[in-house]
């Protein structure tokens, strides 16, 4: 109501608060809680409100003052601790200075709680030995625990709490170690405060064991290896397709008449490779051959075997007067649908040599060529990438070499490009051959690494042998699909005191690659680390070994030779073992090997040879703490060498000591005699280490002069290597090379 004041003014009077409710008045209802709602108008006077549930009373935390406005204010109250499945009544009480208002009661019902429900129990991903069992469980508003029970287990499996929601929750468990073709049962149990439920018994059967099938064998002829002037090793890969299979080779000097045969060899029922040696061949002659196999299935028999493709090889020319290069084709690698790397090894026999590859889709018509490249007068390996190839096509190729003494062709090898739609073309792993470990007199551990940038499932193995043909291989290893994969193989049954060559090979569905060829030498005692090598020694050095050792510094040297004296025309060989004796890495080591003028350099496992000072320079980028390696050097005494004493083969190593930060020089040398045709190089000596020292004043003078020159040369080489890498010659290609 209003009061009229003197002068005609009207004074409004405040009223009691008014209470109303939205629809619905109760929201967010669960089994034990709800949110209560109302609208209250203070009508111009400070108003207090409270919520009251019938039978419970006022909800204390919800009491509040809503001010003295003249419009409705929405108020809420969370109510908890309610009983499930129960009807409740509540109201809002509002009081101001003009009196109080009791709102009308509003009714709501809490959600009833039920025991959990279980549905959809089933088994999936069933194999011979495993399965996944699963179901869907609804907690129905109450905290629920579940577990699995299975006939192959005596206890609960995957027990867990899935919460108190009101929607379906998927639960699962993996069963392993099952038997093939066997029926199993399981069920899912669920329980909450109201009760428990079960899925009931569910039955499933694992996949039956596969029955092996058999068919005629498949056979693929592979390139020949270990080719000499009168012998070779023929190779093939096969798949026996589940039946006992036999493999042989047919060969001859005519493509159309392979009239010689090896004996059939049993290769079992699986797949693999087979190698058989043949001898009594004519030198410098082309032979054709193919692999053949039978297992008595699909019409195959000993008289009608399954036949591989025909390949060829050429035996070596063993003429002692030839100066033309010796060329050996090696297998291709890094093969994609349109490209491949062709490989070969060579010995230039002391004359500047040029090499190229001839290739084509027919072994009798190699009409495509890479460019000639100059490879120098020594020995080594050679590779060239060819591109623009047709997908899923077999290509044939051979290496060709030429120098002033003549020309030589390697054997014909073959490879097949990947299909054009190959998902992984070009995604082959990169194989790296690592140094050997555990080298003993008849055994060794070979080490390798594969960079698998594309994450494909990769396998790897090693090829090894006493020549660069690498006629032996280790078993293939599955490495998985990691990005950086290491692998190793223990090889036994090796010959005592023998040089071996090896490399790592890695392969996946994207192709294959081969690592660098390294060398190691077995011995009677100790270990000799592997190093990169460019070609095979051509002579065997006799025992006993002469070993000279220098130590006491961060780097130690050991020079080993098995010659006692050297005569004109004789091959001499040296094994220079060097080791980091410190506990820190040594970087940028400059090693120099100087030969006397009477010894002609032939080949080495590393380094660059300078004919101007008859020395070999090697830069070692890094040598880890405790790591040891070996440098192999081969030379030949000049045919016109005069008899003399004190022929010195000296080795210097220059580096910065990683502990003292001072430059150090280590010198080792071998002093011997050039004699008339007869014995071998004389005794080894190490200056200052109690070795075999010179015995005359003349010998001492010569040695002191040589030592001074070698230390100066070693330091000069070290400085030069710090500034740049030693450049290698790439002479111009002559116009008269054969086309």
- Each residue's pLDDT tens digit, 83-98: 888 999 999 999 999 9
Task: Return the CATH number of 2-109, one of 3.20.20.80, 1.10.530.10, 3.30.565.10, 2.60.40.10.
Answer: 2.60.40.10
Written as one string, the DSSP assignment of 357-389 is EEEESBTTB--EEPPPEEEESSEEEEEEEE--P
- The CATH class of the 117-205 domain is mainly beta
Q: What is the pLDDT of residues 143-191, one digit of tens each?
A: 999 999 999 887 789 899 999 888 999 999 999 999 999 999 999 999 9
**Cα separation of 161 and 139, whole Å?**
10
Decide if pLDDT at 58 tops 70.
yes
pTM: 0.41
The radius of gyration of the chain's CA atoms, rounded to the nearest angstrom, is 44
- Span 534-580, pLDDT tens digits: 333 332 223 334 444 555 688 888 887 766 577 887 778 888 888 88
Distance CA 344, CA 329 (A): 4
Q: What is the 3-state secondary structure (H, E, C) of 225-242?
A: ECCCCCEEEEEEEEECCC
What's the number of CA atoms in the CB half-sphere (13 Å) around residue 264? 15
| pLDDT at position 226 | 86
Q: Distance between CA atoms of 6 and 27, rounded to whole angstroms?
A: 52
Alpha-carbon gap, residue 172 to 190, rounded angstroms? 13
pLDDT number for residue 570: 78
Closest CA to 104 of 54, 47, 46, 58: 54
Question: Could you tell me if 706 and 669 are in contact, meaning their C-beta atoms sit under 8 angstroms apart?
Answer: yes
The architecture in CATH of the region 218-314 reads Sandwich (2.60)
Hey, which residues does 51 pair with through a beta bridge?
92
Count of CB atoms situated within 10 Å of the CB of 264 = 17
Residue 629: predicted pLDDT: 83
Q: What is the pLDDT of residues 579-616, one digit of tens each?
A: 888 889 999 999 999 888 888 888 887 788 888 788 88
Given pLDDT bands bounded at 50, 70 and 90, which one contains residue 727?
very low
Tell me the three state secondary structure of residue 705.
Answer: helix
Rounded CA separation 676/642 (Å): 8
| Cis check: omega of the bond before 666, within 30 degrees of 0 | no
Span(s) in the chain for CATH 2.60.40.10: 2-109, 117-205, 218-314, 322-413, 427-534
Which residues on neighbouring strands pair with residue 631, listed in sequence order? 576
Mean pLDDT, residues 473-496:
91
Coil, strand, or helix at residue 703? Answer: helix
Highest mean pLDDT: which range of 68-82, 365-379, 517-531, 677-691: 68-82
Residues of the chain with CATH 2.60.40.740: 546-723
**How far is C-alpha 453 from the chain's CA centre?**
9
For residue 249, the surrounding DSSP H or E stretch is strand 245-252
The percentage of the chain sitting over the pLDDT mark of 90, rounded to a whole number, equals: 44
- Regarding beta strands 608-610 and 599-604, do their DSSP bridges make them parallel or antiparallel, or are they unpaired? unpaired
Q: How far apart are CA 417 and CA 387, in angstroms?
A: 11
* Res 472 pLDDT > 60: yes
Architecture of domain 546-723: Sandwich (2.60)
* Local structure of 661: helix, strand or coil: coil
- C-beta separation of 494 from 500 below 8 A: yes
Q: Could you name the CATH architecture of 427-534?
A: Sandwich (2.60)
DSSP classification of residue 723: H
Gap between the Cα atoms of 277 and 232, Å rounded? 6
Closest alpha carbon to 111 in 138, 90, 140: 140
Q: Is 9 exposed, middle or buried (0-12, 13-18, 19+ CB in 10 A)?
A: exposed
* pLDDT value at residue 635: 84
Average pLDDT over residues 619-630: 85
CATH among 2.60.40.10, 1.25.40.10, 2.40.260.10, 3.40.47.10 for 322-413: 2.60.40.10
Residue keyed to tokens 């496992």:
605
Residue 100 reports pLDDT greater than 90: yes
For residue 710, give the H/E element and its range: helix 697-723
| pLDDT tens, position by position, 663-689 | 888 877 777 777 775 443 333 333 333
Tens digits of per-residue pLDDT, 526-536? 434 344 443 33
Q: For tokens 């905290």, what's the residue? A: 143
What's the angle, vertex CA 319, arms to CA 316 and CA 323, rounded to 5? Answer: 90
Phi and psi at residue 237, to the nearest 5°? -120, 150
Exposed/middle/buried for residue 656 (C-beta within 10 Å: 0-12, 13-18, 19+): middle
Residue 560: which of 588, 527, 587, 592 has the closest Cα? 527
Least confidently predicted of 55-59, 307-311, 312-316, 464-468:
464-468
3-state SS class at 656: strand
Of 68, 52, 69, the closest CA to residue 60 belongs to 52
Average pLDDT in the chain: 83
Decide: residue 235, CB within 10 A, 0-12 exposed, 13-18 middle, 19+ buried.
buried
């Amino acid at each position: 109501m209003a009061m009229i004041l003197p002068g005609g003014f009207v004074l409004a009077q405040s009223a009691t608060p008014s209470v109303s409710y939205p629809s619905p008045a109760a929201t967010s209802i669960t089994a034990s809680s709800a949110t209560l709602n109302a609208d209250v108008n203070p009508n111009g006077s400070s108003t207090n409100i409270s919520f009251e549930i019938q039978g419970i009373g006022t909800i204390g935390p919800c009491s509040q003052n809503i001010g003295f406005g003249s419009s409705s204010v929405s108020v809420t109250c969370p109510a908890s601790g309610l009983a499930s499945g129960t009807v409740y009544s509540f109201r809002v009480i509002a009081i101001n200075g003009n009196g109080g208002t009791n709102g009308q009661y509003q009714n709501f019902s809490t959600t009833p709680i039920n025991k959990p429900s279980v549905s959809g129990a089933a088994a999936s991903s069933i194999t011979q030995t495993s399965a996944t069992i699963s179901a869907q469980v609804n907690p129905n508003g109450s905290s629920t625990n579940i577990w699995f029970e299975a006939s192959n287990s005596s206890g609960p499996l995957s027990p867990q709490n899935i919460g108190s929601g009101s929607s379906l929750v998927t639960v699962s468990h993996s069963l392993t170690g099952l038997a093939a073709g066997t029926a199993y049962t399981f069920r899912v149990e669920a329980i909450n405060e109201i009760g428990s439920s079960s899925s009931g018994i569910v039955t499933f059967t694992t996949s039956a064991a596969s029955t092996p099938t058999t068919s005629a064998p498949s056979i693929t002829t592979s390139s020949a290896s270990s080719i000499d002037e009168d012998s070779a090793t023929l190779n093939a890969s096969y798949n026996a397709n589940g039946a006992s299979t036999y493999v042989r080779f047919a060969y001859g000097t005519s493509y159309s008449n392979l009239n010689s045969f090896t004996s059939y060899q049993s290769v079992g029922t699986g797949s693999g490779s087979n190698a058989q040696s043949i001898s009594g061949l004519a030198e410098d002659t082309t032979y054709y051959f193919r692999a053949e196999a039978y297992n008595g299935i699909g019409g195959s028999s000993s008289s009608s075997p399954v036949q591989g493709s025909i390949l060829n090889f050429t035996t070596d020319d063993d003429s002692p007067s030839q100066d033309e290069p010796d060329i050996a084709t090696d297998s291709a690698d890094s093969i994609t649908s349109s490209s491949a790397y062709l490989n070969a090894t060579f010995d230039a026999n002391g004359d500047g040599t040029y090499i190229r590859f001839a290739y084509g889709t027919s072994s009798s018509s190699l009409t495509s060529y890479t460019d000639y490249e100059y490879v120098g007068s020594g020995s080594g390996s050679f590779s060239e990438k060819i591109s623009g190839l047709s997908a899923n096509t077999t290509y044939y190729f051979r290496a060709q070499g030429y120098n002033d003494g003549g020309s030589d062709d390697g054997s014909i090898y073959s490879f097949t490009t990947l299909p054009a739609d190959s998902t992984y073309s070009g995604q082959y792993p990169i194989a790296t051959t690592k140094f050997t470990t555990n080298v003993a007199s008849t055994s060794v551990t070979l080490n390798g690494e594969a960079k698998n940038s594309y994450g494909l499932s990769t396998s790897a193995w090693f090829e090894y042998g006493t020549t660069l043909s690498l006629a032996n291989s280790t078993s293939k290893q599955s490495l998985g699909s990691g990005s950086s994969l290491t692998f190793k193989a223990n090889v036994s049954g090796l010959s005592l005191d023998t040089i071996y060559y090896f490399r790592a090979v890695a392969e996946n569905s994207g192709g294959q690659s081969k690592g660098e060829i390294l060398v190691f030498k077995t011995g009677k005692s100790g270990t000799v680390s592997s190093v990169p090598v460019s070609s095979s020694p051509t002579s065997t050095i006799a025992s006993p070994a002469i070993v000279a050792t220098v130590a006491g510094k961060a780097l130690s040297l050991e020079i080993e030779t098995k010659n006692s004296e050297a005569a004109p025309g004789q091959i001499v060989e040296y094994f220079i073992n060097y080791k980091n004796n410190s506990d820190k890495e040594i970087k940028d080591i400059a090693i120099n090997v100087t030969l006397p003028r009477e010894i002609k350099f032939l080949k080495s496992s590393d380094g660059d040879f300078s004919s101007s000072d008859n020395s070999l320079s090697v830069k070692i980028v890094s040598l880890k703490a405790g790591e040891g390696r070996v440098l192999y050097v081969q030379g030949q005494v000049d045919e016109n060498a005069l008899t003399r004493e004190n022929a010195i083969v000296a080795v210097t190593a220059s580096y910065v000591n990683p502990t003292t930060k001072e430059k150090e020089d280590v010198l080792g040398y071998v002093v011997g005699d050039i004699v008339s045709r007869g014995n071998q190089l004389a005794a080894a000596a190490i200056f200052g280490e109690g070795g075999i020292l010179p015995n005359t004043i003349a010998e001492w003078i010569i040695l002191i002069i040589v030592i001074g020159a070698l230390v100066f040369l070693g330091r000069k080489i070290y400085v030069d290597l710090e500034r740049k890498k030693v450049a290698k010659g790439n002479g111009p290609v002559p116009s008269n090379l054969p086309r």
